[in-house]
Amino acid sequence: MRDTVEIYNPGVDDDWALIPNMSAPRRNAGLLFVNSSLMVFGGDEGDSHLLDSIETLTIDMGRGQRAEFAGRWQVIESTLPQPRSYSGLVLVDKP
């Protein structure tokens, strides 16, 4: 298990690129892209220990050609109500 993250760029380069490492290794986490931020929810540590932490990474798409990353992953204070792994996430806009 690793703390590395790769992002796919379907644009001009059509390739995968490494982005900053998360603060801790995790797998089977949920992921959302919200307001220029990647958000990773929960997951597990490769054993039966489930995670309730949430990490965010800000992405600047600039001119739309290649993503640039502002800083490092940040663990936010809020946690999931219950640790979970293999979860699905849905973003619902408020009217």
Question: How would you write the pLDDT of the chain (95 residues) with one tens digit per residue?
Answer: 788 888 887 776 788 888 889 998 999 999 998 888 899 999 999 888 999 999 999 887 665 555 667 678 999 999 999 999 999 999 888 87
The pLDDT of residue 66:
58
The pLDDT of residue 88:
92
CB under 8 Å to 6, separation ≥6 — which residues?
Answer: 16, 17, 18, 19
Identify residue 6 by its one-letter amino acid code.
E
| Rounded distance between C-alpha atoms, residue 74 and residue 33, angstroms | 15
